[in-house]
Amino acid sequence: MLHRKKTEKEIKQAKEEVLDPVFGGRDLMRPAPKFRLPREEMPPRNAYQLVHDELLLDGHSRLNLATFVTTWIEPEAQQLMSESFDKNMIDKDEYPQTAEIEMRCVNIISELFHARSDEKENACGCSTIGSSEAAMLCGMAMKWNWRKKRKAQGKDTSKPNFVTGSDVQVCWEKFGVYWDIELRHAPMKKENGYRVAMEDLVALCDENTIGVLGILGTTYTGEYQDIKKLDKLMAEYNAKTGYDIPIHVDAASGGFVAPFLDSRLEWDFRLEGVKSINVSGHKYGLVAPGVGWALWKDWSYLPEELIFHVSYLGGDMPTFAINFSRPGAQVIAQYYNFVRLGFEGYTNIHKASLSVIMTLKKLLEKSELGEVVMEDIRMPLLAFKLKDNHDYDFTVYDISGRLRRYGWQVPAYTLPKDCGDVSILRIVAKEGFSHDLASLLVKHLREVMKELKSEKPKRIKPSREAKIC
Ligand SMILES: Cc1ncc(COP(=O)(O)O)c(C=O)c1O
């Protein structure tokens, strides 16, 4: 075999690649590309260093108490995920075992949510990229079912609506906009303990309602809505009106908590009116982002017209998803968790996170300023506001900003518009947020409060006389 003699330039370049220290070579002397593909290649170690270093500026995910999404996974789960990073979920003919694992997960979650199962037929559901995609799929199924019934009755199908509380997550607002469905919001009420009354949901329903939403673990405060009550009220309403409005449960976070910490709570397919559920595997399902699950009570609630059959990957491939290609690694990690943890493991992990939250709650209540806004803590989450009678010139936003200096990410935000004058802080405890870390958070919270109190002293309230003048 003939070898071409290397040019001077090539020899110099090869030498540079091997000998130059990363930060001494020319690659890192140039600005990182921001708008255009660079003309030339660079050695992998330099490219790695450049990207790696930029990411140093991200917050540390383990201190991210804002997210519901998993920030710590076991090394074995990491290993399985890196072994399967190349598996495309849609290639079911090429990766039949990944497809089988997805189906096993659907069966296991359906059983956990008490869908009827005879273990002879697969349960009805699919994996998604997260709860948002699952919400779109379940919402679409409700719209299609409603439209089919209306068409059969010769009725108008142009004004579908979907009923939710104002504490709904943004994915449902998106669903309304993307699929041209009016979203009707029942108010969150202060006098109702910052909750939405189930009666108010029912009051918004009419013949054009494709479904009504119950939330198991709201994004704002982590409260479980009273879905059993909603089911009873909707059964009465449907019987009275002759409609057949289904309940969908957004169990994005609570779906992987309630079965382990509150197994007697009826919120799922045990209830007659609950026909579909979404849950995020990457939240309390303890998988790294992104996997979610869409589930139906049985096959009769998933319209056949929404399932597409493709043949170009070999075999007949039924698909019901927004995306075509999707990573398989998260689905595999979900199954790993099921095998590894079982009922006992999930229970232990969530109990540990909940106990961290209860400790934080106690400490907060002992302190001068914080006031928990949740009546019932069932998920490992704490939402609190400054006490109404606090009269320092700082807000929860100041606290959130100062905590950031220690690395903690604790979000501050306002409640939905009906309670929009209330601003709160939210701490989500997940696997990996230990009692030790929580005690450090409290220490820093105290320091921040002390600092703010000394910098922004008590407002001087005008006296009665002063007011009259
Ligand atoms: C109640 C609720 N529904 C839906 C979602 C969206 O879930 P995902 O991030 O998995 O798309 C969230 C996310 O926090 C949520 O809290």
Q: Which atom of ligand 1 is nearest to the CA of 292?
A: 10
Cα of 169 from ligand 1 centre, angstroms: 6
- Whether residue 269 lies inside any domain: the answer is yes
Q: Which atom of ligand 1 is nearest to the CA of 215?
A: 1
Using CA atoms, how far apart are residues 379 and 156, in angstroms rounded to an integer? 42
Cα of 435 from ligand 1 centre, angstroms: 26
3-class secondary structure per residue, 240-280: HHCCCCCEEEECCCHHHCHHHHCCCCCCCCCCCCEEEEEEE
Q: What's the token pair of residue 443?
A: 């220490």
Cα of 253 from ligand 1 centre, angstroms: 7
Testing ligand 1's pocket by substitution, the residue of 67, 133, 162, 171 carrying the most ligand atoms inside 8 A of its CB is 171
Domain termination site, one of 323, 338, 353:
338
Average pLDDT value for residue range 209-228: 97
Testing ligand 1's pocket by substitution, the residue of 136, 138, 164, 169 carrying the most ligand atoms inside 8 A of its CB is 169
State whether the beta carbon of 330 lies less than 6 angstroms from ligand 1: no
pLDDT in tens, 409-437: 999 999 998 899 999 999 999 999 999 99
Using CA atoms, how far apart are residues 150 and 135, in angstroms rounded to an integer? 22
Average pLDDT value for residue range 318-330: 91
pLDDT in tens, 147-178: 999 999 999 999 999 999 999 999 999 999 99
* More confident site: 392 or 64: 64
Q: Are strands 308-310 and 317-319 parallel, antiparallel or unpaired?
A: antiparallel
Residue 69 has pLDDT above 60, yes or no: yes
Cα of 255 from ligand 1 centre, angstroms: 11
Using CA atoms, how far apart are residues 45 and 355, in angstroms rounded to an integer? 44
Q: Above pLDDT 90, what percent of the chain?
A: 79
State whether the beta carbon of 167 lies less than 6 angstroms from ligand 1: no
State whether the beta carbon of 168 lies less than 6 angstroms from ligand 1: no
pLDDT at residue 463 in the model: 46
What per-residue string of b and e applies to 344-376 under the rule 16 or more CB within 10 Å gives b?
Answer: eebbebbebbbebbeebbebbeeeebbebbbee
Task: Tell me, yes or no, whether 127 and 236 share the same domain.
Answer: yes
Q: Which atom of ligand 1 is nearest to the CA of 283?
A: 10
State whether the beta carbon of 139 lies less than 6 angstroms from ligand 1: no
State whether the beta carbon of 164 lies less than 6 angstroms from ligand 1: no
Using CA atoms, how far apart are residues 3 and 9, in angstroms rounded to an integer? 17
State whether the beta carbon of 70 lies less than 6 angstroms from ligand 1: no
Task: Tell me, yes or no, whether 27 and 97 share the same domain.
Answer: no
* More confident site: 7 or 289: 289
Q: Which residue's alpha carbon is nearest to atom 8 within ligand 1?
A: 131
Testing ligand 1's pocket by substitution, the residue of 173, 215, 223, 280 carrying the most ligand atoms inside 8 A of its CB is 280
pLDDT at residue 1 in the model: 54
- Whether residue 39 lies inside any domain: the answer is yes
State whether the beta carbon of 220 lies less than 6 angstroms from ligand 1: no
Residue 7 has pLDDT above 70, yes or no: yes
- Whether residue 25 lies inside any domain: the answer is yes
Task: Tell me, yes or no, whether 79 and 54 share the same domain.
Answer: no
- Which contacts qualify for 192-199: CB closer than 8 Å, 24 or more apart? 193/374, 193/375, 194/220, 194/221, 194/223, 194/373, 194/374, 194/415, 194/419, 194/422, 195/167, 195/223, 195/225, 195/375, 196/165, 196/166, 196/167, 196/225, 198/225, 198/226, 198/229, 198/230, 198/233, 199/233
- Whether residue 3 lies inside any domain: the answer is no
Q: Which atom of ligand 1 is nearest to the CA of 67?
A: 14
Average pLDDT value for residue range 262-278: 98
Domain termination site, one of 283, 305, 338:
338
Q: Is 438 within 8 Å of 453 (Cβ atoms)? A: no
Listed in order, strand segments (DSSP E) in 258-369 are 274-280, 292-296, 308-310, 317-319
Task: Tell me, yes or no, whether 191 and 313 share the same domain.
Answer: yes
Average pLDDT value for residue range 188-214: 96
Q: Which atom of ligand 1 is nearest to the CA of 133?
A: 11
Residue 286 has pLDDT above 90, yes or no: yes
Q: Is 208 within 8 Å of 241 (Cβ atoms)? A: no
Task: Tell me, yes or no, whether 221 and 150 share the same domain.
Answer: yes
> What is the chain's Cα-based Rg?
26
Cα of 245 from ligand 1 centre, angstroms: 23
- Whether residue 343 lies inside any domain: the answer is no
4-8, 43-47, 348-352, 379-383: range with lowest mean pLDDT: 4-8
Q: Which atom of ligand 1 is nearest to the CA of 218?
A: 1
The CATH code of the domain that includes 80 is 3.40.640.10
Cα of 132 from ligand 1 centre, angstroms: 6
Task: Tell me, yes or no, whether 54 and 82 share the same domain.
Answer: no
State whether the beta carbon of 171 lies less than 6 angstroms from ligand 1: yes
Residue 71 carries which side chain, given as an amino acid letter?
T
- Whether residue 450 lies inside any domain: the answer is no
pLDDT at residue 459 in the model: 65
Greatest mean pLDDT among 121-125, 332-336, 448-452 lies in 332-336
Residue 391 has pLDDT above 80, yes or no: no
Q: What's the token pair of residue 341?
A: 């943890």
Average pLDDT value for residue range 234-257: 98
Domain termination site, one of 280, 307, 338:
338
State whether the beta carbon of 77 lies less than 6 angstroms from ligand 1: no
Q: Which atom of ligand 1 is nearest to the CA of 253?
A: 16
What per-residue string of b and e applies to 14-24 under the rule 16 or more CB within 10 Å gives b?
Answer: eeeeeeeeeee
Task: Tell me, yes or no, whether 139 and 278 share the same domain.
Answer: yes
Using CA atoms, how far apart are residues 294 and 190, in angstroms rounded to an integer? 32
pTM of the model: 0.93
Cα of 384 from ligand 1 centre, angstroms: 20
Residue 1 carries which side chain, given as an amino acid letter?
M
Within the chain, what is the greatest distance between any pair of CA atoms? 102
Render 55-89 in DSSP notation, one character per residue: HTTSPPGGGB-S--S-----HHHHHHHHHTTT-BT
Number of domains in the chain: 2
State whether the beta carbon of 175 lies less than 6 angstroms from ligand 1: no
pLDDT at residue 461 in the model: 54
Residue 362 has pLDDT above 70, yes or no: yes
Task: Tell me, yes or no, whether 53 and 79 share the same domain.
Answer: no
For 259, other C-beta atoms within 10 Å of its C-beta total: 23
By residue range, what is the domain housing residue 49? 8-58
For 201, other C-beta atoms within 10 Å of its C-beta total: 26
Residue 459 carries which side chain, given as an amino acid letter?
R
State whether the beta carbon of 293 lies less than 6 angstroms from ligand 1: no
For 181, other C-beta atoms within 10 Å of its C-beta total: 23
pLDDT in tens, 442-469: 999 999 999 998 987 776 554 444 333 3
Task: Tell me, yes or no, whether 308 and 260 share the same domain.
Answer: yes
Task: Tell me, yes or no, whether 20 and 156 share the same domain.
Answer: no
Task: Tell me, yes or no, whether 196 and 108 share the same domain.
Answer: yes
Using CA atoms, how far apart are residues 272 and 231, in angstroms rounded to an integer? 7
- Nearest CA-CA partner of 385 in 403, 370, 364: 370
Q: What's the token pair of residue 128?
A: 């998604």
Using CA atoms, how far apart are residues 319 and 83, in angstroms rounded to an integer? 25
Using CA atoms, how far apart are residues 299 and 38, in angstroms rounded to an integer? 51
Q: Which atom of ligand 1 is nearest to the CA of 134?
A: 11
For 215, other C-beta atoms within 10 Å of its C-beta total: 26
pLDDT at residue 465 in the model: 41
- Whether residue 171 lies inside any domain: the answer is yes
State whether the beta carbon of 127 lies less than 6 angstroms from ligand 1: no
Average pLDDT value for residue range 194-208: 97
Residue 268 has pLDDT above 90, yes or no: yes
Using CA atoms, how far apart are residues 251 and 274, in angstroms rounded to an integer? 12
- Whether residue 442 lies inside any domain: the answer is no
Task: Tell me, yes or no, whether 120 and 223 share the same domain.
Answer: yes
Q: Above pLDDT 70, what percent of the chain?
A: 96
